[in-house]
Amino acid sequence: MKPLFQLTRSSMIWLLVSILMVMAPYISVVPSWLFVLAILAVGWRLMVYRGRWSFPHWSVRVGVMLLVLVGLLLELRQGSVMIVTVGLLIAAFVLKLTEMYRRRDALVMLYVAFLLIVCSFLFYQSIPMALYSVLSLIVVTACLNTVYRSQQNNDIWRPLKRSAVLYLQALPMMLILFLIFPRIGPLWQVDMNSGQSFTGLSDSMSPGDVSRLTRSAEIAFRARFDDQLPPEHLRYWRGLTYDQFDGRAWRRSDGLIAQSRTDAKPKRQALSGLPSTQTFSYQIVMEPTGQRWRYGLDTPLRYPAKLRQIEDLTLQEAQPLMQRTQYSLVSRVGAVREPLSDTQVAHYLQLPSEGNPKTRQLAQQWADEHSDIKGFTAQMMGFFARDFRYTLEPPLLQQSDSVDQFLFQSQRGFCGHFASAGVLLLRAAGIPARVVGGYLGGELNPVDDVLTVRQYEAHAWLEYWDKGDLSWHRLDPTSVVAPLRLEQSAAQLFSDEPSFLADAMLMRNGFLSGAFLKQLRQRYDAINYDWHRWVLNFHERQSGLLQRLLGDISVVNLLLLVMLPGALVLLLVAFNLLRQRAPKDDLLKALDKLDRCLTPVNLQRRQGETVGQFFDRLTLAFPALADEFEALSRCYERISYAEDSNPALRQQFKSRIERCCPLIAQS
């Protein structure tokens, strides 16, 4: 029979708290059925602890593990490899409870708990998460301390205090290493794009795709402007363009338009000559998207070397964005002069050979009535302004001739519907055009003047090319269908729509909109933004600090910089240990007092004599006090060897010696 590792009461309490704290950050990450498994495993272990059930047979454990593997493989079809891997780690973590026979099993479980705390930073990198992880580390370390304690030592709070003191003692060295130890890039890359892990625009757009983003209040990016803010009606954040239409959905090109702009400098010079344009300089802190494109205000003119501007004026990076990043831009708001070749013009006129005949006919009719593009676009915008309605819940459109159904039947849609129909009308009339996807607006935080753009502000508009001035012009049908969208925030405009912020009910119900709570949220957002910028810029700050401290940054200097503060900390610890004298146990103090009473009669405790032998010798020397010495011997054995922590026993031991000393003096 395997030796049973029986947890103490304090160990069981701290183990349950550790499991709860370690798994809490993964509630919205891993499949929910893993938490059901955790509840069952914890319940079974509690019943084993109380002696009502036995440990499950190995075949049961193997069967459950196989079911978990099957479940995680099914999740892999719609989740990322990283999420499934963490799910497997959590499953092993909780199932280990059902076979905790030995102390080493408990240690393995706690070591996995430490690993899960670290893994939580793969999904969250906020200040609250950092503080929560430190608290989790203290709790798990407290549980680790209780594993080595005996059954009689059931003090619940002492392990937590010792754990907290341990981390406080490690704090100086941690700060030294954090500030001066150089950051090393990852040795491997992990793709965490699951299709569900990120919220945002994708490389294809169907009529209802953009409206689905209004369910979410997640942050897309934050922007801080160096000087003036652009007016609300000019806050068009370009993300990507859609230039290929298959009759139902718009997609990005992988060929001609995806080529890198090799003549960026001449085109930027041409941009500067256009009238009625404004230039803005700003920094963006962008959240992970799992995609390569980056957002910028209207038309970026200057951008970091790591980014490239492709032919449709959007910005891209070589690798998908898997973690928060920061970059600086200079953008110009206004028309964009860009001569197009015949091949490019043909590309921006591409349409399916058939489909949506009523739309094509209407476009041709308007083209016959107007000889210039301005007249055509004015006719189109007037058409949208008459009977169309802007809504987050448009009716479903049929697979074929969906634009015809939208323009001539439902006449209800979101920005994607209008942009898609507008580009189709323009192209059918022989005017090059494309759909642009991005965001419109942003919430200004008065605490730090940072503009926060959330997912519910996702937007789509169109651009058409005028061969008269060889320029791209922005055209937003939303400006005539729902003009308040350009002047108000999406939260104000869509507050009555049932689907708006359906995934963020606290914000939808106004819980965070009250004056006091809103002010707290804004202050927290400001602190969070500064924290993110500090972390993102830490490498440059650290390099500057090392440059000031070392001058020449070399391996030897770095080692000295790490070792000298470390040696200083160790010397302080050693000095503190040498200076401190361990407090003498109160039992030994009582025995010393008894020794002093016995010194006149030369019966004090001899060197190498045990306490039991000492009291046996005193019993022979003082028969009248035999009962007292026998009681003292039993009391000492219970405290020292049976580890009875009852304070009454210690008090009883000291009281009996107090009574014996006067009686010995009288004998």
The series of mean pLDDT values per 10 residues for the chain, 667 residues long, is: 61 88 91 90 85 86 90 79 87 88 85 93 84 94 85 76 88 75 53 48 73 78 93 91 88 59 40 60 92 92 92 89 90 89 93 91 94 93 92 80 91 90 95 94 91 91 92 93 78 68 59 71 87 76 63 65 72 74 73 88 87 88 88 86 75 88 83
Kindly list the distances between the CA atom of residue 517 and the CA atoms of 179, 439, 447, 455, 528, in Å, as whole numbers in the listed order: 35, 26, 14, 21, 16
Q: Is the dihedral of CA 125, 523, 454, 497 positive or negative?
A: positive
The whole-number pLDDT of residue 557 equals 67
Kindly list the distances between the CA atom of residue 68 and the CA atoms of 26, 80, 490, 575, 646, in Å, as whole numbers in the listed order: 17, 16, 42, 53, 46
Which residue blocks in 329-449 are alpha helix, DSSP H?
A: 342-347, 357-369, 373-387, 402-405, 415-428
Q: Which of 243, 476, 635, 660 is catalytic?
A: 476
DSSP category for residue 408? I
Residue whose token pair is 């989790």? 136
The whole-number pLDDT of residue 546 equals 62
- Six-digit token pair at 127? 């200040």
CB atoms within 10 A of CB 357: 10
The whole-number pLDDT of residue 388 equals 93
The whole-number pLDDT of residue 132 equals 94
Helices (H) and strands (E) in the chain, counts: 24, 20
CB contact set of 161 (below 8 Å; sequence gap of 6+): none
The whole-angstrom separation of Cα 357 and Cα 376 is 19
- At 173, is the secondary structure helix, strand, or coil? helix
CB contact set of 218 (below 8 Å; sequence gap of 6+): 199, 287, 454, 455, 504
Rg for the chain, CA atoms, rounded: 36
Q: Which of 119, 415, 635, 660 is catalytic?
A: 415
Q: Which of 459, 525, 635, 660 is catalytic?
A: 459
Told to judge if 627 belongs to the known catalytic residues of this protein, a careful annotator would answer no
The whole-number pLDDT of residue 265 equals 38
CB atoms within 10 A of CB 20: 13
Q: Are 193 and 167 in contact (CB under 8 A)?
A: no
Bridge partners, residue 413, by sequence: 390
- At 336, is the secondary structure helix, strand, or coil? strand
Closest CA to 223 of 437, 436, 438, 443: 443
The whole-angstrom separation of Cα 497 and Cα 586 is 73
Told to judge if 476 belongs to the known catalytic residues of this protein, a careful annotator would answer yes
Told to judge if 227 belongs to the known catalytic residues of this protein, a careful annotator would answer no
